[in-house]
Structure formats: structure tokens, C-alpha cells
Amino acid sequence: MEAAAEPGNLAGIRHIILVLSGKGGVGKSTISTELALALRHAGKKVGILDVDLCGPSIPRMFGAQGRAVHQCDRGWAPVFLDREQSISLMSVGFLLEKPDEAVVWRGPKKNALIKQFVSDVAWGELDYLVVDTPPGTSDEHMATIEALRPYQPLGALVVTTPQAVSVGDVRRELTFCRKTGVRVMGVVENMSGFTCPHCTECTSVFSRGGGEELARLAGVPFLGKCSKLVLGSRPPIPSLPWVGLTSVPPGPEGEEGMGAVSLSRRTTATCGSSTRALLKALYGHGWFGCVRFWPAEPMLGAGGADTAPPPPLCPAGSVPLDPELTRSLEEGHDFIREFPGSPTFAALTSIARRILDATPTCLP
């Protein structure tokens, strides 16, 4: 039996964030990777611990396949991406002799390795450790949470896609979090929609509505939705709540938020009281960036095409399907550095900003 866990290896880590989902393939590794890159962009030192033993995606996403893991006097040395050691990684992917080798282990053996991963990696000083998990609510998850519990993780980001099938699994993950005492920091809806590069039509490829429903079920903020206040057009059906619309030109971080607030004060004069209340509630929740919305209920009898919500002018938050993002992850590039003008960048950095805001500033 191991001696009382050495305070050493995790003691230098300020905050631990888990990225969870009951469902596979929703983008946990993608969100973990991009969150780490965005946090680094914000000047933080970040580590990623990949506890997906059967499908370790993290090494490839950073272009670090084939890197070797070495021992040091405090345990395993993580793989550093750069000289400044701003991002460090640990994954079973680094330990496999052949990348196509399957890790066909039953639960008890997986538990043993995860315990080692958590306690024996010499992370050093980190601002954030992002823990990427496999899908499900089983051995790996229980082992990870048990091993991390003494270090009081900040919480979990729960990732879903818009479909009901995803929500069906991810709501079980919320129950898992409740039962294991993990705080859910928020819900991210990935693969929110695809904007055709040929005609800019935005299609909901994987259905819609999942992120909001999940956030509602969990009673947590929906981190993945930013919308845009757009002034100008008259509401098609006056009796339904509708916000006057205008476009807010995208600007550097703080200015975007302020622009939307002052506009909202002007627009509330022309909108119904229910909309005013809605706006107040929104800003009370600290929504930042642009705000866009459309009637909550579909407008019956008004015809499908006419009542489709206007395409997002500056979609931020809900992470859209983006082949450039996929390509960057395949090739191990830093999407955050390479595509700062894209809506996907805005969505990912807004999630990172939310994490930074939610991080307590006074340390124990």
C-alpha cells in the first residue's frame, strides 16, 4: 500500500478542472485541448492529464505523438510542449510502444494506472490541470475522482452535443457528479451548427437544443451560449417576445461586452416589459459578448422559412462545427493562435474566460 500521498506532485497545482460527458465523441478532448490553449493564451501555465486509457487522443491533438516519457526523481516527467513549459501533458498514449496497440484492460488494472497517473506525475507549478476523461460513468471516472478528491478540484465542465440522444447520456453524468460531489461549473454545447462555406447557410447538423436543456436540468449556467443583440427589424409577430435587433461589430474583449450593455438600455425602451425582464436577467447572470435571441416557441402558422432564426452574426460560446478546428487537432496545431478571427475562436475563448472568472482569486 502506498504511503500517505506525497504532498509533492499535485501540491503545486492551483486549480483542477475535469472535462466530462456521459456520451462519447462529443468533443471532450477537443474542448480540453482548446481550453488549455486558450488559458495559455491568457498567460496561464496549464497541464493536461488524459485518463482515457482506451482512446487517448490528447497526444495527437498537440502534435506530440511519439514523444517519450521519462522518469525523474519525483516520478514521471510530463511531456512539455515548449521551452517555457507553459503546457505539459500526460497520457497513456505516450506509454504505448505501438500506437495501434489496443489497451484491452479490465477495470481493476485501469484503476491502478489512473492512481499512478494522478500521484506520480511531477507536474511542478501549474495554474490549471485539465483532466480529460473517457465517456461513461465507470472505473476510470471513479478512480480519477477518488484520487483527486484530496486536492479539491474546482469542478467539472460537462460537454454535450445538441441532440437529445447526447442529453440522454449526459444527464446521467450530471447525476454522477452529484453523487460523487463534483461541482458542475457549466455545460458546453459542442458541434452546435455548421455554416456552409459555399453559401453561409447555417445548418443544425446534430439537431438542436441539447445544451440549454442540459444546463436547465443541471441548474447551471449554459457556458456555451452567447447571443447577439441586433437592432432594426420589426418583430414579425408583435405579440410574441422579440428583441429589437442590431449588429455589434466585434471588437477586443472588454469592449464587446460594454457595447452590448449600452445598446440594451436603448432597446429596452422600445421592447415589451417581458423582454426587459429577460434582458435584466441575462446581464445579471453575467452574459458577456453579444446577445441574440429569437422567440422561445416556434411561431406556429407563420411558415418555416420565414421564421427561422437569423443566422448568428458573431456566434460565440456554443462551439460550432468547424473543419479548421478538426484539422488543427488532427495535425497538432494551435487553433487559438492560428484562427483568431473565427467564430469558433470567439466561442472557445469565451469559455476560457468564464473559467478564469469562476476561479477564486484568493488562494487557500
Partner 1 sequence: MEEVPHDCPGADSAQAGRGASCQGCPNQRLCASGAGATPDPAIEEIKEKMKTVKHKILVLSGKGGVGKSTFSAHLAHGLAEDENTQIALLDIDICGPSIPKIMGLEGEQYVEDNLGVMSVGFLLSSPDDAVIWRGPKKNGMIKQFLRDVDWGEVDYLIVDTPPGTSDEHLSVVQYLAAARIDGAVIITTPQEVSLQDVRKEINFCRKVKLPIIGVVENMSGFICPKCKKESQIFPPTTGGAELMCQDLEVPLLGRVPLDPLIGKNCDKGQSFFIDAPDSPATLAYRSIIQRIQEFCDLRQSEEENLINS
Q: Which one-letter DSSP state was computed for residue 181?
A: T
Which residue among 85, 207, 246, 359 contacts partner 1 (CB under 8 A)? 207
Chain residues 249-308 in contact with partner 1, contact rule CB under 8 A: none
**Which residues contact residue 185 at a Cβ distance below 8 angstroms, ignoring those fewer than 6 apart?**
17, 154, 155, 156, 157, 220, 223, 355, 358
Segment contacting partner 1 (CB under 8 A): 19-27, 226-234, 281-289, 334-342? 19-27
Q: 138 or 262: whose CB is closer to partner 1?
A: 138
Choose between 203 and 270: whose C-beta lies nearer to partner 1: 203
To partner 1, the closest distance from the beta carbon of 262 in angstroms equals 35
Spatial distance between the Cα atoms of 61 and 87, rounded to a whole number of angstroms: 13
> Given candidates 88, 133, 163, 268, which one binds partner 1 under the rule CB under 8 A?
163
User: Is 356 a residue that touches partner 1 (CB under 8 A)?
Assistant: no
To the question of whether residue 25 is assigned a binding role by annotation, the answer is yes
* Measured CA angle at 107 (ends 104, 108), to 5 deg: 110
Regarding 100 and contact with partner 1 (CB under 8 A), the answer is: yes
Query: Which residue lies nearer to partner 1 by CB, 109 or 285?
Result: 109
- 3-class state of residue 296 by DSSP: coil
110 forms part of the interface with partner 1 (CB under 8 A) = yes
Signed CA dihedral, 234, 236, 239, 240: sign only: negative
Q: Is 104 in the site for partner 1 (CB under 8 A)?
A: yes
The interface with partner 1 within residues 28-67 (CB under 8 A) comprises 29, 54-55, 57, 60-61
**Residue from the set 47, 134, 257, 312 that interacts with partner 1 by CB under 8 A:** 134
Q: Residue 26, annotated ligand binder? A: yes
Does 22 bind partner 1 (CB under 8 A)? Our answer is yes
> Which one of the spans 83-91, 102-110, 240-248, 267-275 is the region binding partner 1 (CB under 8 A)?
102-110
Query: Based on CB atoms, which residue is closest to partner 1, 60 or 292?
Result: 60
Q: What share of the chain is helix, strand, coil (3-state, %, to 5)?
A: 40, 15, 45
216 contributes a contact to partner 1 by CB under 8 A: no
CB atoms inside a 10 Å sphere around CB 108:
9
Q: Which residues pair with 17 in a beta bridge?
A: 130, 155
CB atoms within 10 A of CB 168: 13
Nearer to partner 1, 197 or 254 (CB): 197
179 binds partner 1 (CB under 8 A): yes
- Give the N- to C-terminal CA distance of the chain in Å, as an integer: 30
User: What is the identity of the amino acid at 189?
Assistant: E
β-pairing, 46-50 with 87-91? parallel
Regarding 205 and contact with partner 1 (CB under 8 A), the answer is: yes
107 is annotated as contributing to ligand binding: no
Give the closest residue to 53 by CA, choosing from 138, 124, 167, 174.
Answer: 138
**Binding-site annotation, residues for ATP:** 22-29
**Binding-site annotation, residues for [4Fe-4S] cluster:** 196, 199
